[in-house]
Structure 1
Amino acid sequence: MAADPKQKPSRLGRGLSALIGEVEGASASYEDQETGERTGAGLISVNDIRPNPQQPRRYFAEAELAELAESIRTKGVLQAILVRPDPKAEGKYQIVAGERRWRAAKQAGLKEIPASIRNMDELELLEIGIIENVQRTDLNPVEEAEAYGALMKRFGRTQEGLAESVGKSRAHIANTLRLLNLSETARNHLREGRITAGHARAALGAPDPDAVIALTLEKGLNVRDVEKLVKSTRDDSTIETVAGKVRKAEKDVDTEALEADLSRALGLAVDIRHKATGGELRIKYGDLEQLDDLCRRLTARR
C-alpha cells in the first residue's frame, strides 16, 4: 500500500537533479534493489522500458524529437533517465522522468540508454512525473494547469509549496490554475494555440468567457483588446451588447452611412460586417410579421 504523502516529507524540494543526477559513465552501477538506494546509472535496453501511464504530457512534437534525436546521435544521452521496476512486468522498467530522451534515443537508433533505477510508489511516480515535465519541457498552458491541479488534489500541495517545487512564482501558479475554470471548448482553443493564456485569463473576468473567446477568434483580438472588452462589460450588459459596441467602433463612416440607408429603406436594423475576404449583411427583425414583410420586399418582381 502506498504511503500517505501527507505523512512523508517530499524529496522534490531539492530539485530533480538530486533525483536523476548526471551520468558519470556507462559503467556506473545500478541501485540496490533491496534497499532502494541509488548508487549510480547503468545502461538498460530501450526495449525493456515503458512510458509512465500517468504522464501528464500527452503530445510530443515530432520536430523537437527529431532535433533531440540528432543531438543524441552526435553526442549521446548526456543525462540518465529515471526509471522504476515495472510492477506489472518482471525485468522491465517504467519511466519516471525522461520520456522525451527515451523516445529520441529510440528514434536515434540506440539499443541502450543510461538510466537510474529507483523504487517508488504510484504517488511518487505521479508527482515526480508532473514536476519533471513542468520544470524541463514546455507543457501547453492547459497541461500545466491540469498538472498543478493534480498535485494539489492528490498530494495536498499548497500554491506556495508548488511554487517552491517547480521553481515558479506563486503568482504564476495562481494565474495558471485559473485556466482550470475554462470550459472544455475554451481549453481546446488554448491547447491548439488559437488563443493564448493571456487571452484566456482576460476572458475569465467576463460573465460569459466563452462568448468573449468566440468574439476574440472572430475578430482576431489581441490580449489588450480582450481586456478592454471585458472591462466594458457590466452586470446589466450582455456580451452581445458589448460586442456590438466593439464592432461599431471598428466601422468606417461609409459603412455606417450604408447601414443607416438600408435601415431606413427596410425599416429594420442592419449590421454590415466587412472583412478583408468578404463580409456579412445582417438584418434584425422583431417578429414574424416583419420577417414576412422583408421576404416580400426581397422577392418582389421589378
Structure 2
Amino acid sequence: MANKKKLTGLGKGIEALFQDNNVDTSKEDVIDLKVSTIKPNPYQPRHRFDQKALEDLALSIKNSGVFQPIIVRQPDPEVASFELLTGERRLRASKIAKQETIPAIIRSVNEEQMMEIAVMENLQREDLTTLEEAEAYNMLMSRLDLTQAQVAARLGKSRPYIANYLRILGLPTEVKKMLEDKKLSMGQARTLLSVNNKQELIKLARKSVNESLTVRQLEQAAAKINGNKSAEKKKTPRKSPFVRASEGQLQEKFGTPVSIVNSSRKKGKGKIEIAYTSTDDLNRILEMFGVDLD
C-alpha cells in the first residue's frame, strides 16, 4: 500500500456506503492497492462481461490510468487482503492492462451490506440480464433470510415485481439459457410459465425464438397447448378466504409459491405444497424447518 490522499471519515449506513456513482470520492481516503491483493466480490450477480469493452477500457487504463477508484473492504485489518465491493470492470481491465496497482477506497462493510451493494450497483447501472436479476433477488432472500416483501422494500421495488422475476427461475434450463442470451424477453418468459407441460414449454420457447413470436402470439399458443385448462379449473373447489390468506402468509415466509390443497374425500384433511427452484433453494427452505442434512 502507498500514496494516501485526502483523509476524511467514512459515512454510516447503506446509503453512505453505496456512493460510487453519486459522491465526489476524491474527498475520501484513496489508496493505491496491489491488484493481486484484491479478491472478486463473492456476491457479484453479474456473470457476463463484454470482452471487447474490457479490452478497450484496459487500453485506456494503460494510457491514462484509472480515474475513478474502486471500492473494497478489508475483512481482517491485520492482513493485506481485500474484497471488491464496486468497480469490477475497472479491476478486470486493470488486470488485462497488467497494472500492478489500482486506486481504491476502503470502506467498513459487513457481509449483509456487501451483498446488498453488489446487487444495488448493478441494478442502478442496469447491467444485469433478466436471469441475473432474478438470481440476485433469490440470493438476497436465501442468504439474508428475507421475504419477497422485505427484498422489495430494501431495493425500492414492488413485491409483485420481485415475485415475477423469481418465477423465472422455475423455467427449464434450456429456456433460461435463451433468456440469458436475450433471445427471449421477460414478457415472453412470463407467458411461457403458463404452459403446464415442461416439454411443450420448451418446444414453444424454441418456436418463439425461431419464428420471432410476439407475447400475444405466445399467449394464444400457450392457451391452445393447455387445452381445457380453464374448464378443469371450474371443477376444482374454490378455496376459502382463510386458505388463500394462509397461502399468502406462507408464501411471504418461505419466499416461494405455496399451495394448500384440501382433500376431496376427507373433510379437514389435505396437504401443503412448497415449491423450490433449485437445490440451494430447497436447502434454504429445509434450514427454515430446522432440517440439517449434513
Does residue 53 of the first structure (1) align with residue 45 of the second (2)? no
Determine if contact 2:54/2:92 at 8 Å carries over to the other structure.
yes
Does residue 12 of the first structure (1) align with residue 14 of the second (2)? yes
Of structures 1 and 2, the larger Rg is shown by 1
User: In 1, distance between residues paired with 2:227 and 2:137?
Assistant: 32
User: In 1, distance between residues paired with 2:53 and 2:153?
Assistant: 28
Going from structure 1 to structure 2, the CA distance change for 1:74 and 1:92 (only over 3 Å counts) comes to same
Question: What's 1:119 paired with?
Answer: 108
User: In 2, distance between residues paired with 1:207 and 1:104?
Assistant: 45
- Gap regions ≥5 residues in structure 1: 1-9, 29-38, 238-302
Q: CA deviation at 1:105?
A: 2.1
Does residue 96 of the first structure (1) align with residue 88 of the second (2)? no
Question: What's 2:217 paired with?
Answer: 225
Going from structure 1 to structure 2, the CA distance change for 1:57 and 1:118 (only over 3 Å counts) comes to same
User: In 1, distance between residues paired with 2:110 and 2:196?
Assistant: 43
Moved more, 211-220 or 175-184: 211-220
TM-score (norm 2): 0.61
Moved more, 135-144 or 84-93: 84-93
User: In 1, distance between residues paired with 2:66 and 2:155?
Assistant: 24
Question: What's 1:130 paired with?
Answer: 119
User: In 1, distance between residues paired with 2:22 and 2:71?
Assistant: 6
Going from structure 1 to structure 2, the CA distance change for 1:206 and 1:227 (only over 3 Å counts) comes to same
SS for the counterpart of 1:17 is: coil
Determine if contact 2:17/2:109 at 8 Å carries over to the other structure.
no
- Gap regions ≥5 residues in structure 2: 1-11, 230-294
Does residue 185 of the first structure (1) align with residue 174 of the second (2)? yes
Among 48, 63, 67, the alignment partner of 2:56 is: 67
Determine if contact 1:22/1:80 at 8 Å carries over to the other structure.
no
User: In 1, distance between residues paired with 2:43 and 2:19?
Assistant: 21
Going from structure 1 to structure 2, the CA distance change for 1:87 and 1:185 (only over 3 Å counts) comes to farther
User: In 2, distance between residues paired with 1:78 and 1:161?
Assistant: 36
SS for the counterpart of 1:43 is: strand
Determine if contact 1:22/1:79 at 8 Å carries over to the other structure.
no
Question: What's 1:292 paired with?
Answer: none
TM-score (norm 1): 0.59
Among 66, 78, 91, the alignment partner of 1:77 is: 66
Does residue 195 of the first structure (1) align with residue 184 of the second (2)? yes
Please give the root-mean-square deviation of Cα atoms over the aligned residues, in Å: 3.3
SS for the counterpart of 2:85 is: strand
